[in-house]
Structure 1
Amino acid sequence: MAREPRRSILVVLLVGVLGACAVVGSAFFGRVGPQPDGTGVTPNHWLLTPAGLQVELGDRPLGIATAPDGRYLVISNNGQGEQSLVLFDTTTQKVIQTIPYSSPEALFLGIAITPDGRRVYASAGGNNKIRVYDFDGRAMAERAPIPLGEAKARIYPAGLAISPDGAVLYAALNLENAVAFIDTATSRVRARVRLALAARADSIGPLPYALVQAGEKLYVSEWNGGGVSVIDVGQQRLLQRIPTGGHASGLALSPDRTRLFVANATRDTVSVVDTSTDAVVGTVDLSPYPGAPMGSMPNALAVAPDGNTLYVANGGNNDVAVVDTATFRIRGLIPTAWFPSAIVVSRDGQSLYVANMKGLGAGPNPRGPNPERPAPTAQYIGSMARGTLSVIAVPNAASLRTYTTQVVKNNGFDETQKSLTQGPRDTTPHAVPRRVGDPSLIRHVIYIIKENRTYDQVLGDVPQGDGDRNLVLFGRDITPNHHALAETFVLLDNCYADAEVSADGHNWSTAAVATDYVQKMWPANYSNRNRAYDFQGGSSASAPLRGYLWEYAARAGLTYRVYGEFFAFRSKPPAVEPAPFANALAGHFSPTYAGYDLSIRDQARVDAWEAEFEEFVRRGTVPTLMILSLPNDHTAATRPGYPTPKAMVADNDLALGRIVQTVSRSPIWRETAIFIMEDDAQDGPDHVDAHRTVCLVASPYVRRGVVDHRMYSTVSMLRTMELILGLPPMSQFDAASAPMITAFQDTPTLTPYEALKPNQSLGEVNQENAYRAEDSKELALDRPDEADAQILNAILWHAVKGAHVPMPRPKTAFRSHPLQDD
């Protein structure tokens, strides 16, 4: 079969790199995205081999409900593009109806069907209403919705449940932190029951997510509260709260309703609650191997009709865990597509229906978007990374063993268990230790996070690498330091951002994971569907359970300093503050270094950093870890009064060169490694894949003048830093990744780096008559990625290449509507 060689490649990559046996400059290790044989590869290099029949659904399916007769499934697609409600016939195994919603019209998660099967309800998320449909057994017909409040109020209906008699619809009001009781006969809200709020007044609250009813009690999962609220449905009052774990999300009841199962997405567990006592009586551990960090992300549940089996959708592991409900032990695993997000079991218990949020990924698009000639068939990421439904026959014991073996191959956890969770062994210092706790020749790590460029946009003209010079926007004249660093040290031309946009990008870049909250909520924010940007310390909801890289450093007793990352928006030098929910930054955060603010040049940022660095050197107190945001390669498009795109990228380039030069001329150069990467790569074309990005490493211990074609990603870079710093992996993704061992050597080359001045003027300013200046004025640039990426990309391309030069077709894009060029 064609699948086995691909699996073998991944295993060889993990074993070879971890054992430091592979040779720099060897063959490419494949490409990300869908593969010709129906499998896939994620940007962090995990394999996707979904079991069963795969049916395309739409953009990020999150909710699923079964009609009372078991024949039909209703599925809610909740991505950043066209959202939709889908009707699936389990008899023909086909989608028979799709009801689309373009922004700002919305859906989110919740679906409920009346006991007689004649009416369907669907949460409309940011529209603050419940959509209502009549169902005649063949198709759904939308009727007047149930309004819940003002259009822009903080309400946001999520999960839905309906009473056994169909008289009451319960709606989890995610942002209102309440549950609405709705009379289905009158479509009016009878009551609102508020959940217990957090102690902090500025907290986003517990964020009710899903609901199930057992007798006179309604159970409500708290997505941000780490527990379940219990409501008396008769008295319409809150009874108590049951603590379970981080990001309580999916809920399921046993058939006799005596047990409640709660998926804890950031704890990687399922809590088992006795509904007679409301006490936790058991826990299912979904960790894939002993001592594993978070990453399984159980987020949806289903129970077999006989009550003997629990099925758990592990979004992070791309599998379904099959759990014995008597012993709470995992019998085996079933492989799925990318990020299973919803699951139901057929009434006869013979079939599983699993919705996969990202399908097989995006990959190449021969009909990619062309801003100059919009077409309804253009391949945007919203239509490329299509969510799927896996229709899986419930496996017998032998088939389950086979499936389990496949999941282990897909995720590489066998190698992880043998090589990445062992204690220190090698007492010989290496630049990059082989295991956590082994000594390193490097004592200082500087990590620079930049904004949104693809590899080809910057380095596509480097002849040694796999580039396309026709896609270069910011070549050697504009980015001489990027080029010099890549050619002087190591050129990494097969390196990918694990993220899609900045919302998940800054989480992947600093935590090696984007939680289920981030992955499910950024599409609503990016598509203007009434959800705030709270993904970088703006609330506690987005944070992994054990926090971010600097928090790991704090627990390890390392010194650290953060510059601009996770800052409080609109705070400015000399009083820049950490974001309100960014932990462990007080006293470790530079007040003089600007965060994301495109009105401030990167030269000013480096001036502020350099002043602190030189004082640290003078005192002999240079922090072990320094994290810097260097954002101006994002650009402000052609907004009048701002530097031109070329000038902003040149500013960013010189700032980067100055940092490396300053460190390389300092006494700590001998013991330092500088890692540089974009948080994501969404803003431009790349001939391999739009996730491919600029990755650079500078250190005396980096091998000089070599090209490393190995496939790396964000988590590979983080894993390398963790090994140097003696920190454990933060997630299962960096734990399973291949560190950049072969790009390093143990003998230092101490030659300092000399920063190069770009030929491009840093003072060049956009004029009122600049290309699409009026459109640039309308772009939202206050926060990362607020600007529409397609419009921004089109403006950048034509501003640099010329108004009449056709824009190439990107491999992926991150908006959904076609553009009209002026």
Structure 2
Amino acid sequence: MWYRAILAAALVGLACGAAASPARHRLPNSWHLRPVGTGVGVGTMPQGIALSPAGKRIAVLDAGAAPAALRVLEARSLETQRIVTLPDGFGNPIWLDRSTLLVAGGKSDEVERVDLRNGSILGIDALGRGSWCAGIALSAHHTRLAAIGDRNGRVVAFDMHGRRLWSATVGAHPSALAFEANGTLVVASRQDSKLYFFNRLGRLVERLATDTHPAALALSPDGRTLAVAASDAGRIDLFSTRAPAKEIARIDVAERFGVGNHFGSSPDALTFEGNASIFVALAGENQIALVRNDRVVARLPVGWYPDALAASPSEIYVADGKGEGMHANPAFRPLERKTYTKYVAILTAGDLRRISRAAFDASDARNFRAERATILPLANRPATSVLRAGGPIRHVIYIIKENRTYDQVLGDIKRANGDPQLAWFGERVTPNQHAIARRFGVLDNAYTDAQVSADGHNWTDAAFANDYVERFWPPNYGGRRPLYDFQNGASPVVPQGGYLWDDALRSGISFRDYGEDTGVPRSTSPTYLAGNMHGLIGHFDPAYEGWNLRYSDLLREAEWDREFRAFVERRDLPALEIVYFPNDHTEAARAGALTPKAYVAQNDLAVGRLVDAVSHSRYWRSTAIFIVEDDAQNGPDHVSDQRSTFYVASPYARGGVVKERYDTASVMRSIELILGLPPLSIYDASARPLDAAFTTKPNYTPFTAIAPLTNLRATNPAHGVGARRSAAMDFRIPDAADPTIANAVLWDLYGVKR
């Protein structure tokens, strides 16, 4: 597609911007990045790295939203020597010799041989159509090659002449593979959290369970120990390779931060130091841990989301998938090459970092002080906070919307930190959201923990997006992986702690879901059939339409209101309601569809009517309404590409401009505290609740919805600005339409030319 050329141009720009990392960066959740070592910028979401046979060069595979690329850097200076743009690529590359590498080819469904001398790319081993090649392994003596298909769950072994030796099925979404010294091939499966052992003839000889969602494998130099990174469990599982293979240890590697569980640390890459020590990348905690004698003995902070490791005798190399933090993007105009790098999925570029092994012997590493300095201390909360179980707030309504930045909607509110020139959907379009903000509080320092909707709904629903989601959404948004399976409730996506509704179900808290991850009634989509989320079965309104932009948010609000009135009549309102109003996503300039302003105004009125209904009911005195966007990808913001609109509506809302910094997990933690629910991950466990947005002195005055100031029925003309681009977009599932094009259309319609 034509926009890939823009992506390619953006990638070249990213490749040229190499710089050492600053000392400190702040993430959406207020954790800090203070990465050690020497760093250099690379492309989007580097998924794998490998040192050359002589150790003088290092290959990095960029596999994010920009076009896939293999880049080679000088290992000591970290200077880029060559970049080869690939049709696709995923996982760790493998050096065949000093000038040839092998790469898992992703959508090409084959293994790709890359010749660095001339930049040629040759598909050598095919896995089968639709397999989506996600990983490769080379035997010890370079006599056999194996590859896994993420889509079809196949593992295929080849000789070095490309002849297929055998193939087998290991279930959906295999994640990693490795050859043992005796030729046994080990394959890890995320779907069922198991290891499969195949002998040289391809016969399955052993099947062993691991902790949840194995993401990476590593063999000790002597070949006797197999290490497995169980990403969702926060553990490393160790197995003896001596027949029969057996488990010998399970090691907690997560930093618990003084909270109960350790879900969310996401160990996702491993490399041995000798036979007894293992370096582990903890992507969710932005650190590298050193494991020795079955325990963590040192920790060092690195960049955002470390997801690949390599080791030389004196140094450790780590790829940070998301680089060094958030960025402002006020000039975001995607169709212009000079600004395209301001789209969040491109702006969030990775880096490569070199760390001396001696750094792990320093006292700050051994006592964990360096790593712990990056974590926000647990909040010293006021004893009188109304955000507590048994307090005056006993009911929560949690509204989830789609993709808007703070500046796009509230940038025109005075005395807050907004840019009115970026308020595409200001007060004339969103009078209710402006009135809610002015009455109950303007939160102008709040950030989504997600970049896009794929991880966004995981963060809004689980306060966490696991390693499967984080690795696979970037190539999906880059147009190279067609499967959007990030909200379907299947095993690889579901985090260890589950979702908010699972938390409520386990704790005996009544709840009702309206459209969030329940799908479109009568839909035939395998991704969006109601009931995919097992915890929602029997707890969602089957008459409530989920994702479907052709269905009005006002009809959704009316259906919610129908049930709400019945709950009021019976006096049995569930303690938790989750309500999905998706139409502020818009259909851009699609001919005949509602205009973006009409869509957003419709969404605004639905929100206003819901708050109105609750505030005029008997439940107003005991209710808090939280309103968030799942992400902030679809527009510019002068503070951050992840700053978004957060609202509270409650008699106990403080009002005024709330300057404290909050994130998606802060909202989740606030809900959990009110309902007496345990946290789902380290993120909500350590998040600062919205205490500063609430007061102990209630104001029971009801809220009255404001009539729209914009024509809710206005439609796009057949040949208007962006009509042709919008006609080609797929709006059947969230973000299936290329968001960069949708953003460009909105800018052409409403953007200020500075």
- What TM-score does the superposition give when structure 1 sets the normalisation length? 0.85
> Matched residues in 2 for 1:473 and 1:597: separation?
23
Structure 1 position 381, deviation (Å)? 4.1
Secondary structure class of the residue paired with 2:368 = helix
How many angstroms does 1:513 deviate by?
0.7
Q: What is aligned with 2:9?
A: none
Distance in 1 of aligned mates of 2:587 and 2:521 = 17
CA shift for structure 1 position 167: 1.6
* Mapping 1:408-447, distance limit 5 Å: 408-412=372-376, 415-416=377-378, 430-433=385-388, 438-447=389-398
* Among candidates 98, 102, 109, match of residue 121 of structure 1: 102
- 1:109 paired to 2:91: yes
Measure, in 1, the Cα distance between the counterparts of 2:607 and 2:85: 45
Distance 1:396 1:468 in 2: 45
Q: Residues of 2 paired with 1:369 and 1:402: CA distance?
A: 43
Q: Equivalent residue for 1:746?
A: 696
* AA matched with 2:486: F
CA drift of 1:345 comes to 1.3
Write the deviation string for residues 592-614 of structure 1: whole angstroms up to 9, x where unpaired: 11111111111100110000111
CA 1:681–1:217: 2 relative to 1, 3 Å: same
Structure 1's 513 and 728: CA in aligned 2 closer, same or farther, altered over 3 A? same
Number of the residue aligned with 2:639: 688
SS of the equivalent of 2:534 reads coil
Listed as ranges, the gaps of 5+ residues in structure 2 are 1-18
State the distance in 2 between where 1:522 and 1:159 align: 17
1:207 corresponding residue in structure 2: 174
Q: 1:755 to 1:170 in 2, by over 3 A?
A: same
Cα deviation code 1:323-366 (max 9, x no counterpart): 11xx20111101110011011111x2x21111111110241358
Mapped partners of 1:442, 1:409: distance in 2: 34
Match of 1:179 in 2: 155
Residue pair 2:504, 2:510 contacting (<8 A) in 1 also: yes
CA distance in 1, matches of 2:183, 2:145: 14
The CA RMSD over aligned residues, in Å, is 2.3
**Letter aligned with residue 387 of structure 2:** V
Following the alignment from structure 2 to structure 1, what is the Cα–Cα distance between the partners of residues 342 and 553?
Answer: 35
Residue 301 of structure 1: which of 270, 292, 309 is its match?
Answer: 270
Seq. identity, %: 36
1:512 aligns with 2:497: no
Structure-2 change in CA distance of 1:215 and 1:393 (3 Å)? same
- CA distance in 2: counterparts of 1:765 and 1:377, whole angstroms: 28
**Which deviates more from structure 2 when the two are superposed, residues 50-59 or residues 506-515?**
50-59
1:650 pairs with 2:601? yes
Aligned counterpart, 1:336: 302
Q: Does 1:142 align with 2:93?
A: no
List per-residue Cα deviations over 1:731-789 (Å, max 9, x = no partner): 11111211110211122211111000111121222232332222222111111111122
1:555-570 matched pairs, under 5 angstroms: 555-569=506-520
Q: Does 1:771 align with 2:735?
A: no
**Shift in Å, 1:503:** 0.5
Tell me which residue corresponds to 1:189: 164
Q: How does 1:107-506 map to 2 (within 5 A)?
A: 107-114=89-96, 117=98, 119-134=100-115, 139=117, 141-148=119-126, 153-184=129-160, 186-195=161-170, 197=171, 205-232=172-199, 234-276=200-242, 277-289=244-256, 291-304=260-273, 306-324=274-292, 327-346=293-312, 348=313, 350-364=314-328, 368-371=331-334, 373-375=336-338, 379-381=342-344, 383-394=346-357, 395=359, 397-401=361-365, 404-412=368-376, 415-416=377-378, 430-433=385-388, 438-506=389-457
Deviations 1:524-563 (A, max 9, x none): 2112113310011253221101210010000000000001
Deviation of 1:141 (Å): 3.8
| Counterpart residue number, 1:99 | 84
The 1:384–1:634 alpha-carbon spacing in structure 2 relative to 1, beyond 3 Å, is closer
Q: Does 1:732 align with 2:668?
A: no
With over 3 angstroms needed to count, the CA separation of the structure-2 counterparts of 1:227 and 1:373, relative to structure 1, is: closer
Aligned to 1:611, which of 562, 571, 585? 562
Residue deviations 1:583-635, cap 9 Å, x none?
21111011111111111111100110000111111111111100011011111
Q: Is the 8 A contact 1:572 1:594 kept in 2?
A: no
Contact 1:40 1:360 in 2 (8 A): yes
CA distance in 1, matches of 2:233, 2:335: 47
Structure 2 counterparts to residues 526-605 of structure 1, below 5 A? 526-537=477-488, 539-569=490-520, 571=522, 579=530, 581-605=532-556
Q: Is the 8 A contact 1:250 1:262 kept in 2?
A: yes
3-state secondary structure, aligned to 1:121: strand
Secondary structure at the residue paired with 2:107? helix
Residue 685 of structure 1 aligns to a residue in which SS? coil
One-letter code of the match for 1:299?
D
Once the two structures are superposed, residues 17-48 of structure 1 have per-residue CA deviations (whole angstroms, 9 ceiling, x without a partner) of xxxxxxxxxxxxxxxxx999443211121111
2:630 to 679, 682, 686: 679
Kept in 2, the 8 Å contact 1:566–1:582? The answer is: yes
With 393-402 and 383-392 compared, the bigger mean Cα shift is at 393-402
How many residues in Structure 1 have an aligned counterpart in Structure 2?
730
Once residues 154 and 100 of structure 1 are traced to their aligned partners in structure 2, the CA distance between those partners, rounded to angstroms, is 22
| CA separation of 1:603 and 1:360: change in aligned 2, threshold 3 A | same
Task: State the 1:677 CA deviation.
Answer: 0.6
- Give the equivalent residue in structure 1 for 2:8: none
Question: Which stretch of the first structure deviates more once superposed, 79-88 or 506-515?
Answer: 79-88
Between 1:713-722 and 1:126-135, the stretch displaced more is 126-135
1:440-467 per-residue CA deviation (whole Å, 9 max, x = no partner) reads 2111000000011111111111102111
The answer on whether the counterparts of 1:560 and 1:625 sit within 8 Å (CA) in structure 2 is yes
Cα distance, 1:220 vs structure 2: 1.2
* Structure-2 separation of matches of 1:628 and 1:377: 33
Q: Secondary structure of 1:411's match?
A: coil
Q: Is the contact made by 2:334 and 2:340 (CA closer than 8 Å) also made in structure 1?
A: no
Report the more deviating stretch, 578-587 or 168-177.
578-587
Where structure 1 has 5 or more consecutive residues not aligned to the other structure, the ranges are 1-33, 198-204, 421-425, 809-822
Matched, 1:639 2:606: no
AA paired with 2:328? P
* 3-state secondary structure, aligned to 2:29: coil
Taking a change above 3 Å as real, the CA distance of residues 36 and 214 of structure 1, as seen in their structure-2 partners, is closer
Q: Secondary structure at the match of 1:221?
A: strand
Distance in 2 between residues matched to 1:577 and 1:410, nearest whole Å? 38
Following the alignment from structure 2 to structure 1, what is the Cα–Cα distance between the partners of residues 669 and 153?
Answer: 37
> Which whole-Å CA distance do the structure 2 matches of 1:178 and 1:140 have between them?
32
The 2-side partners of 1:126 and 1:601 are apart by 36
Displacement of 1:643: 1.6
Displacement, 1:383?
A: 4.9
* 1:760 aligns to 2:729 (yes or no): no
Matched position secondary structure for 1:720 = helix
**Distance in 1 (alpha carbons) for counterparts of 2:183 and 2:341:** 51
